[in-house]
Amino acid sequence: MNKRIITLGEIMLRLSTPGHERFVNTQSYEVNYGGAEANVAVSLAFWGLSAAHVTSFPDHEIGKAAVNTLRFSGVDTSFIRYNEGRMGVYFVENGAMQRSSKIIYDRFDSAFAQVNVKDFDWEKIFEGADWFHWTGITPAISQSAADLCKAAVQAASRLGVKISADINYRRNLWQYGKGPMDIMPELIKPSHMIIAGLTDFENCMGITETDYLQACEKAKSMCPSLKYVSTTHRDSISASENELNGVLWNVESLLESKTYEMTHIVDRIGGGDAYMAGLIYGLLHLDDQNALDFAIAASVLKHSIPGDANFVSIDEVNQLVEGKNVGKLLR
């Protein structure tokens, strides 16, 4: 039976300068739609899994255009709601060589920030679901978004749905009077898997270990259901050239992927979401080491694709894992 994954989070309008133009001199912007959790759903749908995304949009043509983007990608949009508020926007300037990329967010008072918890029936949403994924971005946006995330996590835990959380600590998002330590530990506790680096552990779980393995073990003591902890390590030589690898702790050992050298990066936004999607897919279908290898390869390939979503096939990911047809012209 096909696995079903539910994701929750805000989707924003992305406006990117063409090529490597700068904000100060561009005359146009390229339009995409994306959000960390929705990017995961798009990847999983593209790989043939049943994926549904839960969010809220303003009730106008831009909001509906975003919904159409999800539908085009094969994501179930039947649980999306419309309410008052605006469309969150972010602007992207792609760096090159030693010039860094830049992102400017304009998401205050968005429709998702004003979401009504009562508009969502989580018992119905989780019917037939195997996995629920959320990120630390959602509870950082507003109190109502945090309440929605809490309701979803509690329902998923009660119904026996596996939960993954990309902690994704963003200091500048927490602006509504609550801090991450007020909310995140309770949300993270029932997780089956978390994505977290040392900064995430410290700011969202109060874990101050400097050794990653010890931090994972302490997280396990706080989260009885926790089976996996993972993160990626990136070495940025320049905006155009990075090295990337991943690690996965499975309670018994800390697994590590190979390190990929990525040159001439097209777009690194969404790389972490591609990794998350790869882990979910891998852990549903493969052993732990192969799941990690699949995830990091999926993330690497995302760096070759403009926009937020990772439109690569399972075969393409597996070929990279196996070192086949890398960079070749396929006819």
- The DSSP-derived string for 270-299 is THHHHHHHHHHHHHHHS-HHHHHHHHHHHH
pLDDT averaged over every residue in the chain: 95
Indicate the length of the chain as a whole number.
331
How much is the pTM? 0.94
Structure tokens, 309: 């979503």
Low pLDDT (below 50) residues in the chain: none
pLDDT at 330: 62
Q: What is the pLDDT of residue 324?
A: 80
Q: Contact at 8 Å (CB) between 248 and 230?
A: yes
Q: Which residue has the tokens 């390190």?
A: 259
Quote the strand ranges of the chain, DSSP E: 4-8, 12-16, 30-34, 50-54, 56-58, 81-83, 89-93, 102-106, 131-135, 162-166, 193-195, 228-236, 242-249, 254-256, 260-262
CA–CA distance, 236 with 245 (Å, rounded to integer): 12
Task: List phi, psi (to 5°) of 219.
Answer: -60, -40
pLDDT of 215: 97
| Residue 82 three-state SS | strand
Number of other CB atoms surrounding residue 241 within 10 Å = 14
Query: What was the pLDDT predicted at 326?
Result: 75
Question: Domain boundaries in the chain?
Answer: 4-320
Query: Across-strand partners of 30?
Result: 16
What pLDDT is attached to residue 331?
Answer: 54
Tokens of 294: 């699949």
DSSP class per residue in 223-238 = -TT--EEEEEEEEESS
**What pLDDT, on the 0 to 100 scale, is given for residue 2?**
83
pLDDT at 292: 98
Whether the CB-CB separation of 142 and 113 falls below 8 Å is answered with yes
CATH topology of domain 4-320: UDP-N-acetylmuramoyl-L-alanine:D-glutamate ligase (3.40.1190)
CB neighbourhood size of 149 (10 A): 26
Give bridge partners of residue 260 from the DSSP assignment. Answer: 244
